[in-house]
Amino acid sequence: MTTEQEKPEIADESGDKYKYGFVTDIASDTAPKGLSEDIIRLISQKKGEPDWLLERRLEAFRFWQKLKEPTWAKLSYDKIDYQDLYYYSAPKQKVAPKSLDEVDPELLKTYEKLGIPLKEQEVLSGVVAVDAVFDSVSVATTYRAKLAEKGVIFCPISEAIKEYPELVKKYLGSVVPYTDNFFACLNSAVFTDGSFVYIPKGVRCPMELSTYFRINAQNTGQFERTLIIADEGSYVSYLEGCTAPQRDENQLHAAIVEIVVLKDAEVKYSTVQNWYPGDKDGKGGVYNFVTKRAACRGANSKVSWTQVETGSAITWKYPSCILQGDNSVGEFYSVAITNNRQQADTGTKMIHLGCNTSSKIISKGISAGRSNQTYRGLVKVSPNADNARNYSQCDSLLIGPDCGSHTIPYVENRNKTAKLEHEATTSKISEEQLFYCQQRGIGEEEAVSLIVNGFCKEVMQHLPLEFAIEAAKLINISLEGSVG
Amino acid sequence: MKTPLLEIEDLCARVADKEIIKGFNLTINEGEVHAIMGPNGAGKSTLSHVLCGKPGYEITSGTVRYKGKNLLAMAPEERAREGIFLIMQYPVEIPGVPVTTFLKHAVNAIRQHRHEPELDTMEFIKLLREEGKKLGINPDMLKRPINVGFSGGEKKRLEALQLAILKPQFSILDEADSGLDVDAMKVVAEAINAERTEHNAMLVITHYQRLLKDIVPDYVHIYADGHIVASGNKDLALEVEEQGYAQFLKEK
């Protein structure tokens, strides 16, 4: 049965500070190990999907079999055995929960421990609606009724496939086609759940929407799929948080986020990524291979990505903007922190297709311990994109002598009217700065965290307030033990 | 009668392989203000750095006791929490860290050490504004990142503000170089004078006598070649002003 055996104290014993490392012992419904057409049929059947989607999955799978895992990133890790993973794991529940009262209390407890209250009355005065994804399925989505009044759809994507097939059919895979890359292709074949958002014409979403992803089951790949559609003149701010238990094995996470922004609409997408990073010797941790992309399809549309990345053993992630509509705007604000043996290869792509499109990239990388970090970015201006503008700033901060930081900004400009600026700096926390803090009574670790938070400030101020506080704490935790 | 606050005995220190401080002796009692004067390059700043525990210096021999405790065994932040405050000549910039945030961390670290309750944001802001007003500090300056783009005068005012808020028992004013901004110094001098009590003590390190018109010391020491070569009262500073350092350097 569902008895809970959580071991939060593991974190203390091993000297690690990852407080989300506990495991929820909950009965789950798991498909057999390995990947084949049969497994994909099984997933599709479990989810009661329409045939068109199964066909798309199989098409993606067949294509994936011909692809090779990319090796261009500055990452080194043991080869992933894709046949040694589970592709479907869901908490066992007799019937799908109709309301929160029917959700397994163990699951509610798990989210509570993660600091994510799912009972609506506990959510701060109704400013955030939450979709909680546990392993392969969405377990609860709050405030749906309230959102529905405004015509906003916020639900698990598996449900959207059944309830809003026209929207899903039209937009799913339209920003990230299965042919895009190895990991996106894999996701297209085996994705299990994720969030779906539709903001109707002219609607300003009355609250922040947020999804909390949680990997729980062992040896299970997590492949979520998020699809956000902002119809003409609409606005939404969307938050994404991620945690996983502390395990010795690596866990594979390959998600896709697609955002469609129509004329005059705006989407603000914020992420605090705190997947388990592995221990100090690099054992365990999540392999995070994520494809995130937004298409600014209409004129005057805007998308802004803000991310704080502290987790994962391996990060491979380039949230991008396709600026198709005239006057559309893309922004990317990123803080990536790596410590111990973590490796991150992350950045963004700004593809300017429309006229007067503009983009801004602010990337702050902090490396500590023996970690390695690469900023990899692309700014592309197509021949028709008159008067495109880009400003890129990539700053790296090094803590200690054994970490590495690399900046690889690509620029492809095919239009003479473009104005592109790029600035990059690499610095170390200076002894003078540390001494100044200490001379005022501030301890060394606190001083480092003050200096680092100062370094990241330009990015952090783009996060919604509550998230910013959480992110600042996370930064401190990530850097504990990095000095002295 | 007098309670010694700082007792330095036979202190020797070096940077890399270079001896800078060579057999330095000085006792400062509660309530006293001492000035150390010396030619440029005599290693006056090294003395203030060693007392505050700045990394990069090797203590080769000697002892320093502060309130009877072994000062040299304490981490820089412990020394600060015990009431040692260094007013720096060139305070460093910390981008992105507002003055308010920085000072709140400092105040509460020190209060915690003294087993006093931490100040909440409201209390702290009130204190900061009040003390800032006395020093002619614009509240906007408190929101700016610490020392970033500050003028020389603003930097000095900020140091004075920290002195007023952190309430140290032993302050060191390091104006070792000749690059003295007289107007800015007045602000600091006033702040220092405001802290003069029978329990607090100060060490003023300077190249010029001018500063000692604003902060009148009880004792003046001439520092050359790593140790004190002459001591006296405030008149000694005037002698230096008139005759220069040469006579003291010859005497040794």
- A378 with A371: CB under 8 angstroms? no
Q: What are the structural domain ranges in chain B?
A: 34-44+82-251
Contacts of B86 in chain A (CB under 8 A): 439
- Which chain A residue has the Cα nearest residue B48? A439
Question: Which amino acid belongs to residue A182?
Answer: F
φ, ψ (nearest 5 deg) of residue B108: -70, -30
Three-state secondary structure string covering A249-301: CEEEECCEEEEEECCCCEEEEEEEECCCCCCCCCCCEEEEEEEEEEEECCCCC
A212: closest CA of chain B, how far (Å): 30
B85: closest CA of chain A, how far (Å): 7
Query: pLDDT tens digits for B62-76?
Result: 999 999 999 999 999
Contacts of A432 in chain B (CB under 8 A): 92
B80 has a chain A CB within 8 A of its CB:
yes
B220: closest CA of chain A, how far (Å): 25
Question: Which amino acid belongs to residue A186?
Answer: L
Picking from A430, A441, A454, the nearest residue to B97 by CB comes out as A454
Question: Within A79-181, where are the H helices?
Answer: 105-113, 144-149, 157-163, 165-171
- A372 with A346: CB under 8 angstroms? no
Question: Cβ of B109 and A446 within 8 Å?
Answer: yes
**CB half-sphere exposure, B117, CA atoms < 13 A:** 5
- Which chain A residue has the Cα nearest residue B112? A441
Question: Which amino acid belongs to residue A163?
Answer: E
Picking from A432, A456, A457, the nearest residue to B92 by CB comes out as A432
Paired strand residues for B172: B86, B203
- Which chain A residue has the Cα nearest residue B162? A440
Closest CA to A340 of A282, A285, A288, A401: A282
B251: closest CA of chain A, how far (Å): 36
Q: Which fold has domain B34-44+82-251?
A: Rossmann fold (3.40.50)
Question: Cβ of A440 and B92 within 8 Å?
Answer: no
Question: Cβ of A439 and B92 within 8 Å?
Answer: no
Contacts of A429 in chain B (CB under 8 A): none
pLDDT value of residue A246:
62
Question: Cβ of B92 and A436 within 8 Å?
Answer: yes
- Which chain B residue has the Cα nearest residue A455? B96
- A455 with A363: CB under 8 angstroms? no
pLDDT value of residue A1:
36
- A25 with A245: CB under 8 angstroms? no
Contacts for A122 with CB less than 8 Å, ≥ 6 apart: none
Q: Which two tokens stand for residue B216?
A: 């009148």
Picking from A438, A446, A458, the nearest residue to B80 by CB comes out as A438
Stretches where chain A sits below pLDDT 70 are 1-28, 91-130, 132-141, 215-219, 242-249, 483-484
Q: At what angle do helices A465-479 and A444-460 cross, to 10 degrees?
A: 140
- A322 with A353: CB under 8 angstroms? yes
φ, ψ (nearest 5 deg) of residue A320: -125, 165
φ, ψ (nearest 5 deg) of residue A347: 175, -145
Picking from A436, A438, A455, the nearest residue to B95 by CB comes out as A455
Question: Which amino acid belongs to residue A353?
Answer: L
Edge-to-edge strand order for the sheet containing A419-428? A137-141, A128-134, A208-214, A235-243, A266-273, A302-309, A329-338, A358-367, A389-398, A419-428
Question: Cβ of B96 and A438 within 8 Å?
Answer: no
Contacts of A395 in chain B (CB under 8 A): none
Contacts of A441 in chain B (CB under 8 A): 77, 80-81, 106, 109-110, 113, 166
Question: Cβ of A450 and B91 within 8 Å?
Answer: no
pLDDT value of residue A165:
95
Q: Which two tokens stand for residue A403?
A: 């970490």
Closest CA to A107 of A28, A43, A31: A28
Question: Cβ of B109 and A441 within 8 Å?
Answer: yes
Q: What does the DSSP 8-state code read for residue A80?
A: P
B76 has a chain A CB within 8 A of its CB:
yes
Picking from B54, B96, B162, the nearest residue to A440 by CB comes out as B162
- B39 with B244: CB under 8 angstroms? no
Mapped onto helix, strand or coil, the DSSP state of residue A13 is helix
Question: Cβ of A457 and B92 within 8 Å?
Answer: no
pLDDT value of residue B27:
97
B122 has a chain A CB within 8 A of its CB:
no
A463: closest CA of chain B, how far (Å): 16
Question: Cβ of B109 and A439 within 8 Å?
Answer: no
- Break chain A down into helix, strand, coil percent, rounded to 5: 25, 35, 40
Query: pLDDT tens digits for B112-134?
Result: 999 999 999 899 999 999 999 98
pLDDT value of residue A135:
59
Question: Cβ of B96 and A455 within 8 Å?
Answer: yes
Stretches where chain B sits below pLDDT 70 are 1, 176-180, 250-252
